[in-house]
Structure 1
Amino acid sequence: MPVQTSRPRRHLFAVVMVAVAAAIVVFGVMNRRTQANQLQELAAGQALATVALVAPSSITHAALQLPGRIEAWSRAPIYARVSGYLTHWTVDIGGSVKAGQVLAEIETPDLDQQLLQARAELVTARSAANQAANTARRWQLLAQSQAVSQQEVEERTSDLASRRSVVNALQANVDRVQVMQSYKRLVAPFDGIVTERNTDIGSLINVGMTPGSELFVVSDVRRLRVYVSVPQRQLALIRPGGLAQIFVPERPGKAYAATVESLSQAVDSGSGAMRVQLSVDNAQGELLPGAFANVQFESSGNANGVGLPPSALIIGKNGVHVAIVDAGGIVELKPVMIARDYGAVIELAGGLAMGEQVIANPPDGLASGDQVRVATAPKG
């Protein structure tokens, strides 16, 4: 009886041990399968590029303000064309003048003597030419009676032509000296004001056209030019015919309307700026040539411009693109056009709308259809 009782127990124990072993095997297989799935998911996650997003910002264009220099519309330095002594002047600095008005007169004793000498030489040459003409006429009469040879007649005729040439040369010299004498009177070339007078009565006047040797400076200030150096970054804002406002320190709060006349069409390599010329009406005479001014250009841009940091742009042989990410993490490369570069922000002319999610720093080789993983929330 004891032996018969122990056999069922041994069989039961064996069955339990087999069941436990089977459970252990099944648990191990399932655990390994779970770990394998986890490894696959981890590998797949690591294969996706992790990117940060940035949202396009709205750009409001502020008025461009730059320093400028006011200059007269026309400025004429008056130099001496003849030497002598200043006898008198008629207009002082700040005086208004008309075109052709006498500013000063120069006494020219040396030039006066040159004119007397030139006239005397001309009289002598005319007398010799008249005598040569009479001689040639007599020899032509003698040639008709065969009293002289034809060669002698031609010699007298040639001498007459030579003396007449001398007369013409001396006449031209007299005319030249007379023209030079007309420069004894310094006159205004156009209507304006005298902005400089650098001579006085009795001063020795020498011929010269070097800077600083001008006797007077006449400026037309009814209309003025304003010169501004516009940095290359802001050149897209400036167009011929554009409007601007001029402000000067001596008249605070008062603005003067100006118009962009022209651009130099060349960027100075030293300053990185282009020279822009504006015109401003100065009928009241309130603006002064040579003065400093603040120039405020009217904005010509779109007040609702879209901007992105430069790092968000993909620049390649096919142009400029940005990488857009949808809700599922799928990338789309969209072509855009750069309107203006503000340094920290690039304004785009089109191709991107507000609210779209853009990759802040697109990785190399990114293409449309790729899937990425978003690491952070978009930056607004």
Structure 2
Amino acid sequence: MRYFLMPLCLVLVCLAGCSEEKPPASPASRASRTVSVPVRPVGRSEVVECRSFPAQVESEQSVVLASKLSGTVEAVMAREGDRLAAGAPILRIDDKDLISQERGLIADREQVVREKQGLAARAGLARTTMDRMSRLLVQRAVSQEDFDRAKAEFDAASRQIDALTAKEQAVTAKLGELAALRAYTRITAPFDGILARRYVDQGAFVAAGAQLALIDAASGGFEITAQVDESLLADLRLGQTIIAAVPSLAAAPFAVTVSAIVGRVDPQNRTFKLKCALPATVPEAVGPPRAGMFGRVFVPARTVNKLLVPTNCLALRGDLPTAFTVDATGTLHLRLVKTGGTFLAVAFGGATYLTDSEAFDPAGRERFVEVLSGLNDGEKLACDTGATLRDGDSLAGAPK
């Protein structure tokens, strides 16, 4: 029993020694560090909050050509993307039925003309007979009945001539209608433009009213259009300058002018249509605008006072956003902050516009976070997301 208790006591002593905790190191025992990071002052400022809406670029003059009659597409003379002069052919619809009808009407008109010529001869003879009977009636050489018969024959021939004349006019009008319809079988460009889209190919059957082609004016201007929430209708006016972005046209946002406000609200999505004219020259554009390009418009919603901090001035410790303030001696102090939304800021006309949209490339553009609490107006922050900062660090070059 004595030999058994001695090892047990040794084990308990060892366990008691391992369970002792080391006292935490005091701040004075840490090595003092000097760091070199950028410092930025923070302050509250008035900014314009914007709401962003998807939009697209449209040509100011754009026409959809439709078919006036049914038929088969017989030939296609232009491809999508071609530049077309006014009157240039695009496609042709089969007009064999119209040609057949036209030939039949021409034959009918020729027959009417011949019948009319025969009746004219009969009417001339009837008139001569009636005049003779009139003279003989005065001399009492013929009876009144003979005169009346001659007159009736002349009147009947005259009415038949009038009927044939009306029929000839109807046939002529029908030929004019067919000629107009035949013109609609040749689809041509109404003005100088670009064939943006062709909806049918050779051999396709099209019904009357079917869309055939879309043409955008070559020399016209462009607009950016969007469906905007009805709550902003009262805040917009014609000629107002707002901000737009078209990523494939220019990396940076640019100013546009409100050119039209369609005040009728769509009851399904509670939005109205907004049109803005693109400037003749878009800053930093990589090419000319094209109809159909995706973009966004940023409509001012309200002017507010916010304390905004660049995102690189904050860091997450776990799930908590933190910042390092710099005091007058250049010492860094850790702060826990409460943040709001994240924004992109654009300066135009002396005002700062905020939007939460990433419609334009954010790679070279600074993003900002709204700080709700934890920082005061006028404080300085150490801003460098690549550095590992600690509370108590000293800023290089700061006065001691």
Contact (CA 8 Å) 2:73, 2:206: kept in 1 or not? no
Cross-structure match for 1:187 = 188
Contact (CA 8 Å) 1:247, 1:255: kept in 2 or not? yes
Name the CA distance, whole Å, in 1 between partners of 2:296 and 2:163.
Answer: 69
**Correspondent of 2:215 among 207, 213, 218:** 218
Contact (CA 8 Å) 2:61, 2:217: kept in 1 or not? yes
Cross-structure match for 1:234 = 232
For the residue of structure 2 that corresponds to 1:215, the secondary structure is strand
1:272 is displaced (CA, Å) by 3.5
Contact (CA 8 Å) 2:76, 2:201: kept in 1 or not? yes
Contact (CA 8 Å) 1:132, 1:163: kept in 2 or not? no
The verdict on how the C-alpha distance between 1:260 and 1:128 changes in structure 2, with shifts beyond 3 A counting, is: same
The verdict on how the C-alpha distance between 1:257 and 1:189 changes in structure 2, with shifts beyond 3 A counting, is: farther
1:84 is displaced (CA, Å) by 4.3
1:97 is displaced (CA, Å) by 1.3
**Correspondent of 1:95 among 50, 71, 82:** 82
Q: Which runs of 5+ in 2 are unaligned?
A: 1-43, 134-145, 306-376, 378-400
For the residue of structure 1 that corresponds to 2:49, the secondary structure is coil
Cross-structure match for 2:125 = 138
Contact (CA 8 Å) 2:232, 2:301: kept in 1 or not? no
Q: Where in structure 2 are the equivalents of 1:341-360 lying within 5 Å?
A: none
The verdict on how the C-alpha distance between 1:287 and 1:127 changes in structure 2, with shifts beyond 3 A counting, is: same
Cross-structure match for 1:77 = 64
Cross-structure match for 1:263 = 261
Report how many residues are paired. 245
Name the CA distance, whole Å, in 2 between partners of 1:198 and 1:300.
Answer: 40
1:302 is displaced (CA, Å) by 7.4
**Correspondent of 2:289 among 287, 290, 299:** 287
Name the CA distance, whole Å, in 1 between partners of 2:298 and 2:278.
Answer: 13
Q: Where in structure 2 are the equivalents of 1:319-358 lying within 5 Å?
A: none
Name the CA distance, whole Å, in 2 between partners of 1:95 and 1:218.
Answer: 10
The verdict on how the C-alpha distance between 1:159 and 1:236 changes in structure 2, with shifts beyond 3 A counting, is: closer
Which digits, 9 at most, give the CA deviation of each residue in 1:23-70, with x for residues without a partner? Answer: xxxxxxxxxxxxxxxxxxxxxxxxxxxxxxxxxx98543355432232
Name the CA distance, whole Å, in 1 between partners of 2:117 and 2:163.
Answer: 12
1:282 is displaced (CA, Å) by 6.3
The verdict on how the C-alpha distance between 1:148 and 1:254 changes in structure 2, with shifts beyond 3 A counting, is: farther
Say yes or no: does 1:151 pair with 2:152.
Answer: yes
Q: Which runs of 5+ in 1 are unaligned?
A: 1-56, 305-379
Say yes or no: does 1:207 pair with 2:233.
Answer: no
Contact (CA 8 Å) 2:49, 2:302: kept in 1 or not? no
1:192 is displaced (CA, Å) by 1.6
**Correspondent of 2:272 among 271, 274, 293:** 274
Contact (CA 8 Å) 1:80, 1:207: kept in 2 or not? yes
Say yes or no: does 1:105 pair with 2:103.
Answer: no
Greater alpha carbon shift after TM alignment, 96-105 vs 122-131: 96-105
Letter in 2 for 1:115: E
1:224 is displaced (CA, Å) by 2.3
Name the CA distance, whole Å, in 2 between partners of 1:229 and 1:215.
Answer: 27
For the residue of structure 2 that corresponds to 1:253, the secondary structure is coil
Name the CA distance, whole Å, in 2 between partners of 1:253 and 1:204.
Answer: 42
Which digits, 9 at most, give the CA deviation of each residue in 1:277-332, with x for residues without a partner? Answer: 222256896323233212135x698789xxxxxxxxxxxxxxxxxxxxxxxxxxxx
Give the TM-score taking structure 1 as reference length.
0.57
Name the CA distance, whole Å, in 2 between partners of 1:258 and 1:120.
Answer: 62
For the residue of structure 2 that corresponds to 1:145, the secondary structure is helix
Letter in 1 for 2:288: E
1:243 is displaced (CA, Å) by 1.6
Cross-structure match for 2:168 = 167
Letter in 2 for 1:142: T
Name the CA distance, whole Å, in 2 between partners of 1:84 and 1:232.
Answer: 44
Name the CA distance, whole Å, in 2 between partners of 1:262 and 1:178.
Answer: 40
The verdict on how the C-alpha distance between 1:104 and 1:69 changes in structure 2, with shifts beyond 3 A counting, is: same
Name the CA distance, whole Å, in 1 between partners of 2:231 and 2:67.
Answer: 46
1:93 is displaced (CA, Å) by 0.4
Q: Who wins on radius of gyration, i.e. which is larger? A: 1
Q: Where in structure 2 are the equivalents of 1:360-371 lying within 5 Å?
A: none
1:117 is displaced (CA, Å) by 0.6
1:172 is displaced (CA, Å) by 0.9
1:215 is displaced (CA, Å) by 2.5
The verdict on how the C-alpha distance between 1:61 and 1:79 changes in structure 2, with shifts beyond 3 A counting, is: closer
Cross-structure match for 1:32 = none
The verdict on how the C-alpha distance between 1:109 and 1:268 changes in structure 2, with shifts beyond 3 A counting, is: closer
Identity %: 19
Say yes or no: does 1:247 pair with 2:245.
Answer: yes
Name the CA distance, whole Å, in 2 between partners of 1:72 and 1:217.
Answer: 11
Letter in 2 for 1:176: E
User: Superposition RMSD on alpha carbons, in Å?
Assistant: 3.1
